[in-house]
Amino acid sequence: MVDPAHPLYGRRFPLISLSHSPRGSRQVLVAFQKDILVRIPVCATSLCADPLPLTNTKLSFDAVSELLDLAKQLGISLKKGGAI
């Protein structure tokens, strides 16, 4: 998985097949676990001819707010120049 916005980013899976959906999008079927197959868009994988830019993010305002609240609960300082 090469799309940083995909929940399975960074993981590798055995390829079962490559297919096209009725709407024309290309997908791969991978073995997620022993008895679980997962269908994933081709462009989330290294098989994509035109990969997505790595600068895209899908963090919502709510997700960032939850992250900041968690940091406060854990006593992590998020001052300018600091790291999480």
What's the angle, vertex CA 28, arms to CA 48 and CA 37, rounded to 5?
145
Residue 40 covered by a domain: yes
Whether the pTM exceeds 0.85: the reply is no
**Domain annotation covers residue 80:** no
SS3 content of the chain, % helix, strand, coil (to 5): 20, 25, 55
Asked if residue 51 is part of any domain, the answer here is yes
Q: Answer yes or no: is 64 within a domain.
A: yes
Alpha carbon distance 5, 13 (integer Å): 17
Could you list the residue range(s) of the whole structural domain that residue 48 is in? 15-73
Question: What pLDDT digit, counting tens, does each position of 19-42 carry?
Answer: 887 777 889 999 998 899 999 999
Domain count, the chain: 1
Residue 2 lies in a domain: no
Residue-averaged pLDDT of the chain: 82
CB atoms within 10 A of CB 30: 20
What digits encode the pLDDT tens for the residues 7-21?
898 999 999 999 887
